[in-house]
Amino acid sequence: MFCSGQPNLIICPQGNILNTVLSVYSHEADQPLPQSDEVLVCSQHTTIDQLDIFWRRALFDTSDRVYCLVNADLLDYDVSDKGERRLEKHMEKATVLGNQYKLVVVCSQENELRSRIVAALDRFRRPPLPMGRKQDIRKYLQVKLKVEKIKGNLKPASHVDFDHSSVRVVKSWRAGVGKTLHMQRQLEDLRVLNSGIQTEVITIPLHEKVIDLDAVMEIFLQSILQPGHIQPRLFHIDISHEK
């Protein structure tokens, strides 16, 4: 399905982008979900430096990992143009070195005719991936997000979830129906599970119409614990709904 040692371009409807990315990784059931350095989700704000760092990581990594560039069609034209030329340069060097890299580029069919990246990589186009059923994708995520491991007497925050999942989406179309209260009760349960150990909740409000992913990641980076320090915490991503 994919070819090693060259890019693999996949075009699909915008609504299938995330499922396509999951399908890239889910064919190996024993592998974890992709790590943050394996996937770059592009936007019009993605810089040429971010794109070039990703190209280098993908083409010169020898760990046999799969790298996925998502929403490449949303890149600014100048970034796409410079990024395409730098990719060609890196590909030539990787070929000389004999690197059998695994690179997947995912674009939406709605923007493919306006995308510089799609035009440049069209010769590497692959057939669309078959979409798994929603229940299969849900089951795959349930398995990957489940955390059972206990370190000593410390129970992970996932143990306050009814399915021991490290991620839980609680949603409603109306305000004031108990979503925040649910989070507060989970924090109370976490404190009961780990009596005498400091626990906290870190809230990330997302109330704007356009989400700044860099700002969100900055909050996560600021929340990284020191090496060797273990502390069960809840991250509350509060997303507002607009009609």
Let me know whether 167 and 211 are in one domain: yes
> 232 lies in which domain range?
146-239
| Beta pairing, strands 200-206 & 39-41 | unpaired
In a domain, 101, yes or no: yes
User: How far does Cα 154 stand from its chain's mean position?
Assistant: 27
- E strands along 92-145, which residues? 102-108
Amino acid at 66: V
DSSP 31: S
**What is the predicted pLDDT for the residue at 27?**
75
Let me know whether 57 and 112 are in one domain: yes
Point out the residues of the chain with pLDDT beneath 50. 243
Let me know whether 44 and 101 are in one domain: yes
**What is the predicted pLDDT for the residue at 242?**
61
**What is the predicted pLDDT for the residue at 241?**
67
How far is it, in rounded angstroms, from Cα 127 to Cα 218? 36
CB atoms within 10 A of CB 10: 23
Spatial CA neighbour of 189 closest among 162, 171, 166, 229: 162
In a domain, 133, yes or no: no
Spatial CA neighbour of 35 closest among 55, 58, 51: 58
